[in-house]
Structure 1
Amino acid sequence: MASLGHALFDTVIGACGIAWGSHGITAVQLPEPNAQATRARLLKSAGGCPEVSDPPDAVRAAITGIQALLNGEPRQLLELELDLERLTPFQRQAYAIARAIPPGQTRTYGEIAQELGDPSLARAVGQAMGHNPFAPVVPCHRVLAAGQKPGGFSASGGALTKLRMLAIEGAVPGGTPSLFDDL
């Protein structure tokens, strides 16, 4: 990707945003209450970049993949190039593990901490997921608290949005039916 920009796009859960630069996708934003709030939160994470009505091919492919994932297609989006320059080494490692979780499956903060080599890092994993600038490309919604409880979620709607995204993927955290099964 040679250009710099951002765009909003529609999904089944609302208007999402994506920003990109010369090293890949710099941020993805899940829906906020309205498009203006989505744009503002995206730009807070991505920095100032112009809105582009005709994104580059790689960005259009990313948008199509995100829309498909949020529509229930089992996509991992591993082919999308993320710009990880501003992340800490810990965040990079935690996000790499989260990206490996297939749609419809979940892991806990503690399991990711264990994979990182130190079970005491579970809280740090939770904080990293809470600061994830790439949701749902880095699928932090697939990372749960102990006991398969949803835990927090920094997107608008909090844990209910997390549970809705998991329901779209067919995941059943803790074996309990989703709040959205009847919708």
Structure 2
Amino acid sequence: MPVSAYQERVYALVSQIPSGRVTTYAALSAALATSPRAVGGALRRNPFAPEVPCHRVVCANGAIGGFLGEAQDAPSGINQKRKLELLRGEGVIFDEKGNLVDLKKVWSEFEV
């Protein structure tokens, strides 16, 4: 499936997020002048993961959020576990409920 111009813009910004940091759907949407849902829709279809590190995008409240097309509260939770593993491997810590512990890890210094 071809990637749209909008998806390319989202993926370009996501690629700027440094390892060990996260951003939010809201921060991305503010940088793109769009909605968090639109950002989530583009990330849900990310064919370049994990090279385009969509695992570094979390909810504004610090919750882990969805990953690889699976909603945060999906029954299996397999993709959220993978997202947590990737982020923990980069030094980003979440509590037992899947919430970001250190909000100083949130990054939003995008070059648009």
> Which TM-score tier does this pair reach, normalised by the shorter chain?
0.7 to 0.9
TM-score scaled by length of structure 2: 0.74
Match of 1:101 among 8, 13, 17: 17
1:175 aligns with: 101
- Calculate percent identity across the aligned residue pairs: 38
Q: How far has the Cα of 1:158 moved from its partner?
A: 1.5
Q: How far has the Cα of 1:154 moved from its partner?
A: 1.8
1:158 aligns with: 79
What code does the residue aligned with 1:168 have?
G
Are residue 144 (structure 1) and residue 58 (structure 2) matched?
yes
More strand by share: 1
Q: How far has the Cα of 1:127 moved from its partner?
A: 1.2
- CA offsets 1:112-151 (integer angstroms, 9 cap, x no match): 0000023xx1011011111100011100000011211111
2-structure distance, mates of 1:146, 1:161: 20
TM-score scaled by length of structure 1: 0.46
Q: Can you give the 5+ residue segments of structure 1 that lack an aligned partner in the other structure?
A: 1-44, 46-85, 177-183
1:111 aligns with: 27
The 5 Å alignment of 1:1-183 reads 86-118=2-34, 121-154=35-68, 157-173=78-94, 174-175=100-101
What code does the residue aligned with 2:62 have?
Q
What code does the residue aligned with 1:157 have?
I
Q: Which protein has the larger Cα radius of gyration, Structure 1 or Structure 2?
A: 1
Could you list the structure 1 runs, at least 4 aligned residues long, displaced by more than 6 angstroms after superposition: none
For the aligned residues, what is the CA RMSD?
1.8
Q: Can you give the 5+ residue segments of structure 2 that lack an aligned partner in the other structure?
A: 70-76, 95-99, 103-112
Matched length: 90
Q: How far has the Cα of 1:157 moved from its partner?
A: 1.6
